[in-house]
Chain A
Amino acid sequence: MKIAVCVKEVPDAAVTKRIDPSTKRLDRSGESVLNHFDSQAVEEALKVKEAGGESEVVLVSMGPAGALDSLRKALAMGADRAVLVSDDAAAGSDLVVTSRALAAALEREGADLVLFGQQSSDSDGAVLWAAVADRLRRPVISQVAELTVSDGKVRGKRQTEFGYDVIEAPLPAIIAVSDAINEPRYPSLKGIMSAKKKPQESLSGSDLGLDADVLGEQGSGTSVLALDDPPPRGDARKIEDDGSAAGQIADFLAEKKLL
């Protein structure tokens, strides 16, 4: 079985981030790491692989050429191969473009199971897998907190606002795992050392049949117009309790229609 995991390199959350005022995009010149939620998807793929049968775990990503460094951590965890879609024209790509590029790369791979992590820490979309599934014309199950694969079918326990659903779909299928699904393994030293030797390929837009004009900002359907400071919190009030504080709080809540 071929399992593809869509992963992304993101700016390290521990390092204070800024938006570049000239491009209005996230300043990515600092440290980059593998998106933590994606490492959960990698972990799940490895678990499925280890559950039995011959399987291959392929990482599929889209990003600048240097992103291969972050993919190495996932290779160190145990993934077999990495494919990076990298094209200068792709900078500033939105969901429409990214989903198109990833779908093209995934189509090329012909995976039986495609996994996504819950969200990316730099843009919090939670929409990418649905877009990719539509382009691949395959069933998708999201927010999966428990996954079982057997007899050509996949069953996921989906976490929603109302509790857990159990949903089943035939393979090939797309699954987005929730952050409750697992705790990713630490790569072993042997894994880290062998990661560099695993096959890593880089694909350009034209390798996937995508012209420059359907990539990047040109191909996108959204744009950032301006950046502002957040609205002020309004007048903050500070009071000292003279016995009536509870009443004042209740009044305040009522005033704000929170009661």
Chain B
Amino acid sequence: MARPRPAEYPPQFDASEFVDEPTDPPDERIEVGILIVGAGPAGLACAIRLGQLIEESPRLAKRLGEVPVAVLEKGKQPGSHSLSGAVVNPRSLRRLFRGEKRAADMPFYGEVEAEGVYFLRHNSSMRIPTPPTMKNHGNYVASLSQLTRWLAEQAEEAGATILPETVAEKLLVKDGRVVGVRTGDKGRGRFGERLPNFEPGSDIVARVTILCEGTQGHLTGVAIDTFGLEGESPQVWALGVKEVWKVAKPLRRVVHTLGWPLRPQAKYHEFGGSFIYPMGDDMLTIGMVVGLDYRDADLSVHDLLQQLKTNPFVRKMLDGGERIGWGAKTIPEGGFVALPSRLHAPGLLMCGDGAGLVNVPALKGIHYAVESGHLAAEAAVDALRPGRTPWTPGALGIYDDAVRESFIWSDLKEVRNMRQAFGRGFYLGGAFAGAMTASKGKLPPGDRPTEPDALAPAVRTDRRRGYPAPDGKLTFDKLSSVYLSGNRTRDDAPNHLRVRTDVPEEIAVMWEQMCPAHVYEARDGHVEITPSNCVQCGAITAKGGRLTPPEGGSGPEYTVT
């Protein structure tokens, strides 16, 4: 048999399972004015902008009712599921707060002072010129989890109601338009049975529903499917695994590395690298990011991160330090060509990472998330002007127009073929990338398509020999990392992961190694699953399975990621 591909073993999943009409009796439905799904940077920016607009317009306030803005968050609180590098471009945040808050008021860890890009081999490092797309002058280092927590405080002050531990499980659609979401049940057992404290979900109805779910957004995927909004090319993802360390010596610059421990040859399709960012004087964050179209079944991003730390250049930064945080999350990497064909549907808008608004070569998405949330708020309000409704054909199309006129669009268009170029291997890709930057996206011409990650064939290699044995000081195993993420999901929660368990060894091993949380184990010809370890990174959905909404409040509790 030819090399197996995860896409050949699709799990049971149909988007229509997650679409329904409201079923709660009308007096039990929860009515809100505008419903935002996801308290991340996009959702909270949207809520903040809405708060400003509502304050300016009593008529709007009246139209939106008792709960004008509600934000649903599946994590324990805003920030619990937020993870990124991150170096943030502050332009969108400045614009959002209309000059009333400066960077000094925001929980940043300082402006980027200096930077360097290095090419690594296992025992050495070599500085290379910083590609123009990676220049970070004027940007700030942040913990997305902390930034999110701060944005949540601003949103609540602006009048938003944030509902944590609440999962948006189904899209409520009636007469062809989105009228809200149904939240997930709580208190079900391992087999879906109702436990004594079972609490059913609720229908939340709203005039406009804005999906800001982040990477692998569940309802975003459902909406794209239901309303036929697929983009020109399929979405692809990378998996990032990172740690936060307390360190003895301050790191005074933003570092990116390429090369080892990834393999440069085209046949391996290993696109990625690492980032090391200073967080103040006594902390730093280090992460490994790898595109999920790799072929090597034995590739484990978590273990590549552990391996990376043994390089002398990196190790020196961590000497005398202590690991205080760990986490993992996927990043959409398809860019421009993978964007949905429209970012709206009747009664619905889509923002941020969920819609794929990420600039891959610059490793930036947070400021696009904030900007898109901002524009979505304005579009929603515009569609609620007297005489209009958000489901009048074209009413919400003003959001798409606004996004196309914004820097989000021009930025993403400029770098649209960058990622695909690296599908040809590091060196050839580098040449393409150079051409692209120099020509501001005009070269090479046209749009190069992406190929779904799950179509990548799985090949066994001896890569694991290079993974360091965890020593509990510099290198760590997955389970203790899951523990550090604050994950305490109850063991008898229903399994939220849809995955075929009778698969060839290569696929079983690929999932086992891929998952940073050790959810999957390849045993005696099948896959064993421990769903309570899941940190909801989304990698399994990219690689052939499907992450569906777990119980609200479960998963990691990130604080410094």
Contacts and interface: CB of A to CB of B under 8 A. Distances in A.
Direct contact of A and B (CB under 8 A): yes
A15 B76 CA distance: 12
A196 B526 CA distance: 49
Contacts of A186: 186-187, 197, 199
Contact of A193 (B161, B486, B559): B161
A222 interface: no
A14 B202 contact: no
B68 to A, nearest CB: 13
B30 A31 contact: no
A31 B197 contact: no
B428 interface: no
B482 to A, nearest CB: 11
A189 B484 CA distance: 30
A190 interface: yes
Nearest to A43: B197
A192 B202 CA distance: 12
Contacts of A14: 76, 486-488, 557
A180 interface: no
Interface string A7-35: 00000111110000000000000110000
Given A14-B487, A189-B204, A193-B30, A183 B183 contact: no
Given A183-B196, A186-B186, A193-B161, A31 B77 contact: yes
A188 B77 contact: no
B199 A188 contact: yes
Give the dominant DSSP class at A's interface. Answer: loop
B492 to A, nearest CB: 11
A60 B376 CA distance: 42
A135 interface: no
Interface in A170-195: 183-190, 192-193
B334 to A, nearest CB: 34
Given A31-B77, A189-B30, A193-B161, A15 B197 contact: no
Interface in B186-243: 186-187, 195-197, 199, 202, 204
B266 interface: no
B204 A12 contact: no
Contact of B163 (A12, A13, A184, A193): A193
A185 B196 CA distance: 9
Contacts of B163: 189, 192-193
Nearest to B185: A186
B166 A189 contact: yes
Given A14-B488, A189-B183, A190-B30, A30 B67 contact: no
A16 B324 contact: yes
A188 B77 CA distance: 16
A190 B559 CA distance: 28
B522 to A, nearest CB: 28
A33 B119 CA distance: 45
Given A183-B196, A186-B199, A189-B166, A13 B559 contact: no
Nearest to A69: B77
Given A14-B487, A183-B197, A192-B163, A31 B557 contact: yes
Given A183-B197, A184-B197, A189-B183, A13 B30 contact: no
Contacts of B196: 183
A13 B199 contact: no
A189 B169 CA distance: 14
A188 B557 contact: no
Contacts of B486: 12, 14-16
Contacts of A13: 488
A229 to B, nearest CB: 15
A70 B458 CA distance: 48
Contacts of B183: 189
Given A14-B557, A16-B324, A189 B488 contact: no
A185 B199 contact: yes
B533 to A, nearest CB: 14
B557 to A, nearest CB: 5
B66 to A, nearest CB: 9
A241 B187 CA distance: 46
B30 A16 contact: no
Contacts of A31: 77, 557, 559
Interface string B18-41: 000000000000100000000000
Contacts of B77: 31
B202 A188 contact: yes
Interface of B: 30, 67, 76-77, 161, 163, 166, 183, 186-187, 195-197, 199, 202, 204, 324, 484, 486-488, 557, 559
25 contacts: A12-B76, A13-B488, A14-B486, A14-B488, A14-B557, A15-B557, A16-B324, A16-B484, A30-B559, A31-B77, A31-B557, A183-B196, A183-B197, A185-B197, A186-B186, A186-B197, A187-B199, A189-B30, A189-B183, A189-B202, A189-B204, A190-B30, A190-B202, A192-B163, A193-B30
10 closest A-B pairs by beta carbon, nearest first, are: A14-B486, A186-B199, A186-B186, A14-B557, A183-B197, A189-B202, A14-B488, A185-B197, A15-B486, A189-B30
Given A14-B557, A185-B197, A192-B163, 4 more contacts: A16-B484, A183-B197, A189-B166, A189-B204
Interface of A: 12-16, 30-31, 183-190, 192-193
